[in-house]
A and B are shown apart, each in its own frame.
Chain A
Amino acid sequence: MTVEGVTVTVHPAGGLWGSEVPAALAALRERHPGCEAAVIGPAGERLVPFASVVNNRGRSLGRGGLGAVMGSKRLKAVVVLPDGPRRPPVADPERLDFVVYEATKLLKANPVTSTALPEFGTAVLVNVLNQAGALPTRNHRETQFEGAARISGEALKRGYVSRRAACRGCPIGCARRTRAGDESGEGPEYETVWAFGAECGVDDLEAILHANYACNRAGLDTITMGVTIACAMELAGEGLLPGGPRFGDAAAVVALTRATAAGEGLGELLQEGSARLAARLGRPELSMSVKGLELPAYDPRGMKAQGLGYATSNRGGCHLRANMVGPEILGIPKMVDRFATLGKAGLLINLQDLNAVLDSLSVCKFTAFAMKEDYFARLLGAVWGEPVEPQELLLSGERIWNLERLFNLTAGFRRGDDTLPPRLLREPPPSGPSAGQTVDLDPMLDEYYVSRGWDAGGRPTPGKLARLGLAGLPAGHPALAAALGGEAAPAAGNGVAKGGAR
C-alpha cells in the first residue's frame, strides 16, 4: 500500500511477499527512493500471533500481534512516498519554538534522558532492576539474575554497539546499532536483553543479539518470543516437553527463535505464544502473561504498582501503557515505596491516561521521564494556536482508557481477567531484596476501580461515562449495555465532557 498525498493505492505485493524484513525494506526503498515504510516479515505473513511491524528505521511495533493483523489482510507494507502527507500546519511556530526550547532544556538536564539512555540505551536498566530484585529470572521463578552484569547495558556498550541512533529530531537517542559476528542490526532493547537473557537464565550476550536479529528479520515480538522460550524451558524441566530446552542454554534460545521464525520443529509449538503452549501441556499457570500477552521485564513482586499496571492494562501484560519504573525505581517524579500495596492507584492512573495521550500524539514516552503533562499541553497548544489545559489532555487520555475498557468489556473481559500469573500472587522470590514478597492484588484492584470511577466489577459507572461524554454509547451498543449490567447509562447531555472527570 502506498500513500501519496491523500491518495492511497494498493499494489500486488509480488516478490515482496515471503521476504524478510530487511530485504522487503531495501526493495521498497530502492523502488521508492526517500520513502518511509513499515513492513511485516514472514512471521506476520504466517499470522504468528506475536508478529510485529517494523519500519525502515529499524523500530518495531512489537506488542500485541499487529503484524498478524496486517498479514491477515495480506498487507505486506505501508509505504509513505516522499511527496506524501506533509507535516500538519503549526499555528504558532514562534511559541512552539519557545516551548520546544524549554522542553529540550529539561531533557538535557535530566540524567535519565541526557546521560543514561543516550550512553547505554534502554539496557541500562538491567543492572538497576537486578539490584532492586525486580529483574524476573528463569520464567519469573526468581527476581535476581547472577549473570546480569554480563548482559547489561554496560556490557552491550563495551562489546557490541557499533553506533548510537535516534528517531528523527530526538535529543535523547536511545537506539543502538550493534554487531555480533557476521550479523548486525537494531537493538537489542532492555526488554529483549532480559527476555532472551535473565528470563531464560542466559548470560551470553552474543547469543541474545543473534536471537534479537532473528526476530528483527522475521518480524517477531522479542518479549513474547523470549518469555515463551522461558516457559518452554520450565515445561521441559517439569518433564512435559521431552527434548525441550533447559534454562541457561544460550544455543537453544537462538535455535528456537530461528525455528519459530521459520515455523519449523518446536518452533511450530512456540509460535502460538506461552499461554497456548502452557495450556496445551496442562500447566497454564506457567505462562507469565496477562490476558494472553507475555509480561515484560519488571517483576511485580519488587514493584507492586507495576503489577497493578499489568493487571489493568487494556492490552494485557504491558509496560508501555504505564511504567511504574519511574516512581517505584527511578524516583520520577518522586520515589514511592515500591513494596507498598495501597496508595499508588491514582499515580498509576495518571500515567495510564498520560500515556494514552502520548501514544495518540505519537510522542515518545521517554520524554515523560523529564517532562510533565503541562509541557505536552503547551506543545499541542502551540500547534493548534489555542491554549490546551494539561487537565484537558489527561481527560482525553482517560476517555481513551475507558473506551478501550468498554471494548474489552464487550469482548467478555471481566474483573477476573485483571489478574497476574498465580506465581506472582503466591510464590515469593527465594532471595534478594524482594525475597518473601508477593502481590496482594485484590485490595489494589479495589482501590484502582474506585479511583477510576468504576464499580467493584471493574465497569465504568453511568456517572463516569457521563463525565467522559460517553453516556450515549451503551444505548447504541446492546452488547456493551449488557456487559455494563443490562442498563443503558443516561444519554449524554452535551457531547464530550470538558473538565476534570475523576
Chain B
Amino acid sequence: MSAGGGTGGPDSAILEQFRRVGRDLFLAGAVSSHGGNLSVRLGDRIAITRRGAMLAHLEPRDVVVTGLEENDANVLLASTEVNVHRAVYRATAAQAIVHAHPPYTIARSLVCDEIVPVDSEGSYLLHKVPVVHAELTAGSAEVAALLERWLREYDVVVLRGHGPFAIGHLLEEAYQLVSVLEATCRILHLADALRAAGHEVREYRKGSDRYTEW
C-alpha cells in the first residue's frame, strides 16, 4: 500500500517528507535500524510508516494509509503505534507525529519526571518536557491514553525508557522538536559531567527557575 492510496492524496510529496525525516532521524542516531515511526494526518485518514520499516530507507510500500477512526485492511501493515497516533490526532489539532528512540533523551527520562533544558535553543523551543511512564510501553491503550492527555498541553512528551512523541502542523515541525530535545539532553548530560568534575554551571537566563511551571 502506498502513501495516499485511495485518498487521492499527493503520494510522492508525502513520501518525500517521510524519507527526509526518516533518513535524518537514523543518521542522527535518533532511531535504530528499524525503530521509530512517523505519520501525517490526511483529513479522516492517516499516512503512517509500516510496522518494521527502516526509516532511513523508506519506499512507497513503507507508508501505509489507513482510517483515523476506523480500521481497514491496511492496519495489518501499519506501525505498532498506530492506535497511539490515532488517539493523539483525535485529541489534538496535530497534523503530524514523530516518534523516535534518541539515546540521550531516553537516558534522561530514566532519571527525571520532566526535562528542563539548560541550553538556549532548548529553552526557547521547549521550556519543559514532561516524562510519563507506562507498564506496556509500545502501542498500548495505556500509552495512547497518556499521550492524548499530555500532548494536548505540550508538543513533545517523553515516554520513559521508550522515547519522545512530538506533534506539529507539519512533519518537519514535529521532527524539529525531537531533534532539539535530543540536543538538549546531550547538553544536560555534558553539563552534569562538568558539574560532577567540580565546575560551576552558571545560569544565564532570567526566569529559568520558573521553567518547571511551563
Interface of B is mostly: loop
| Cβ-defined contact, A346 with B95, below 8 A | yes
Picked from B10, B44, B152, the residue with its CB within 8 Å of the CB of A392 is: B152
Residue pair B207, A347 in contact (C-beta under 8 Å): no
Residue pair A500, B10 in contact (C-beta under 8 Å): no
| A171 interface residue per 8 A CB criterion | no
Q: Which residue of B lies closest to A449 (CB)?
A: B43
Asked if B18 is at the interface of the complex by the 8 Å CB criterion, the answer is no
Q: Does B93 contact A (CB under 8 A)?
A: yes
- Contact partners of A82 in chain B: CB under 8 A: none
Complex Cα gap A337–B12 (Å): 13
* Stretch of B52-60, B84-92, B179-187 contacting A (4+ beta carbons < 8 Å): B84-92
Residues of A within 8 A of B193 (CB): none
Beyond A342-B13, A345-B43, whether A391 also contacts B173 by CB under 8 A is: no
Question: Judging by beta carbons under 8 Å apart, are B92 and A337 in contact?
Answer: no
Q: List, in ascending order, chain A residues with CB within 8 A of B41's CB.
A: 346, 451
A443 neighbours in B (Cβ, 8 Å): 8
Which residue from A105, A342, A387, A502 sits with its C-beta under 8 Å from B93? A502
User: A124 → chain B, closest Cβ, in Å?
Assistant: 24
In whole angstroms, what is the CA distance A22 to B176 when docked?
Answer: 49
B169 partner, pick from A95, A350, A500, beta carbons under 8 A: A350
- The count of residues in chain B whose C-beta lies closer than 8 Å to any C-beta of chain A is 33
A340–B9 Cα gap in the complex (Å)?
Answer: 11
A366 at interface, CB cutoff 8 A = no
Task: Tell me if B146 counts as interface (CB < 8 A to partner A).
Answer: no
Assembled-state Cα–Cα distance A502/B44 (Å): 8
Instruction: Please tell me if A330 contacts chain B, counting CB pairs below 8 Å.
Output: no
A334, B170: Cβ atoms under 8 Å?
A: yes
Which residue, B44, B127, B153, B168, has most C-beta atoms of chain A within 10 A?
Answer: B153
Min Cβ gap A92→B in Å is 10
For A378, list chain B residues within 8 Å (CB): 214
Smallest Cβ-Cβ distance to A395: which chain B residue: B93
The size bracket of the interface on A is 35 or more
Give a binary string over B122-156; 1 marks a CB under 8 Å from any A CB, 0 the rest. Answer: 00100100000000000000000000100011110
Interface residues of A in 320-355 (CB under 8 A from B): 327, 333-334, 336-337, 340-343, 345-347, 349-350, 353
Contact between B153 and A342, CB atoms less than 8 A apart: no
Q: How many angstroms between the C-alpha atoms of A101 and B95 in the bound complex?
A: 29
**Would A333 and B207 be within 8 Å (CB), given that A391-B91, A447-B43 are in contact?**
no
A450 to B6, CA, bound (A): 14
**Is A23 in contact with chain B by the CB < 8 A criterion?**
no
Q: Is the CB of B14 within 8 A of A500?
A: no
Q: A101-B206, A350-B95, A500-B90 known; A389 and B152 CB under 8 Å?
A: yes
Kindly provide the distance from the CB of B138 to the nearest chain A CB, expressed in whole angstroms: 23
CB pair A343–B93 under 8 Å, yes or no, is no
Inter-chain contacts of B154 with A (CB < 8 A): 374
Question: Does B202 reach chain A (CB closer than 8 Å)?
Answer: no
**Is A500 a contact of B93 with CB atoms below 8 Å?**
yes
The answer to the question of A446 belonging to the interface, with a C-beta cut-off of 8 Å to chain B, is yes
Q: B91 touching A499 by the CB < 8 A rule?
A: yes
Whether A390 and B153, one on each chain, are in contact in the complex, defined by CB atoms closer than 8 angstroms, is yes
A394 at interface, CB cutoff 8 A: yes
Is residue B172 contacting chain A, with contact meaning CB distance below 8 A? yes
Contact of A343 among B9, B90, B172, B206 (CB under 8 A): B9
Alpha-carbon distance A67/B207, docked complex (angstroms)? 45
Q: Which residue of B lies closest to A502 (CB)?
A: B93
Residue B213 CB within 8 A of the other chain: yes
A492 at the interface (CB under 8 A from B): no
A391 touching B92 in the complex, CB below 8 Å, given contacts A98-B210, A102-B127, A343-B14: yes
A106 at the interface (CB under 8 A from B): yes
A91 at the interface (CB under 8 A from B): no
Q: Which residues of B contact A90 (CB under 8 A)?
A: none
Most buried by A among B42, B89, B93, B173: B93
Assess whether A347 is in contact with B44, with CB atoms less than 8 Å apart: no
Indicate whether A347 sits within 8 Å of B43 (C-beta atoms), given known contacts A443-B8, A502-B93: no
Interface centre among A105, A106, A447, A500 (most CB of B within 10 A): A500
Given A334-B172, A378-B214, A450-B44: A391 touches B93 (CB 8 Å cut-off): yes
A109 within 8 A of B: yes
**A457 → chain B, closest Cβ, in Å?**
16
Contact yes or no, B43 A451, CB < 8 A: yes
Chain A residues numbered 59-75 whose CB sits less than 8 Å from any CB in chain B: none
Chain A residue with the shortest CB-CB distance to B214? A378
Query: B90 — which chain A residues lie within 8 A by C-beta?
Result: 500
Determine if A343 and B169 form an interchain contact, defined as CB atoms under 8 angstroms apart. Answer: no
Partner of B170 from A336, A372, A390 at Cβ < 8 Å: A336
Q: With CB as the reference atom, state the residue of chain B lying closest to A467.
A: B90
- Which of B14, B95, B124, B206 is within 8 Å of A347, CB to CB? B95
Contact A389 B153 (CB under 8 A): yes
Q: In the complex the two chains form, what is the Cα distance from A457 to B113 in whole Å? A: 48
Docked CA distance A235–B134 (Å)? 68
Compute how far the CA of A336 lies from the CA of B169 in the bound complex, rounded to whole angstroms: 11
Contacts of A446 in B (CB 8 A): 8
- The contact of B124 among A105, A353, A387, by CB within 8 Å, is A105
| Min distance, Cβ A141 to any Cβ of chain B, angstroms | 29
**Do B93 and A394 touch across chains, with their CB atoms under 8 A apart?**
yes
Instruction: Report A442 CB to chain B, min CB distance, Å.
Output: 11
Contacting residue for B152 out of A336, A353, A390, CB 8 A: A390
Q: B121: shortest Cβ distance to chain A, in Å?
A: 11
Determine the chain A residues whose CB is within 8 A of the CB of B14 once the complex forms. 343
Closest Cβ of chain A to B205, distance in Å, is 9
How far apart are the CA atoms of A242 and B213 in the complex, in Å?
68
- 19 A-B pairs with C-beta separation under 8 A: A98-B210, A101-B206, A327-B170, A334-B170, A342-B8, A342-B9, A342-B10, A346-B42, A346-B169, A350-B169, A374-B154, A389-B152, A391-B91, A391-B92, A446-B8, A447-B9, A450-B44, A500-B90, A502-B89
The 3 lowest CB-CB distance pairs between A and B, nearest first, are A450-B43, A500-B91, A346-B95
Q: Which residues of B contact A (CB under 8 A)?
A: 8-10, 13-14, 41-44, 89-93, 95, 124, 127, 148, 152-155, 168-170, 172-173, 176, 206-207, 210, 213-214
Extra contacts besides A391-B93, A447-B8 (15): CB < 8 Å = A98-B213, A105-B124, A334-B173, A341-B10, A346-B42, A347-B170, A349-B93, A374-B153, A387-B153, A451-B41, A453-B44, A499-B91, A500-B89, A500-B90, A500-B91
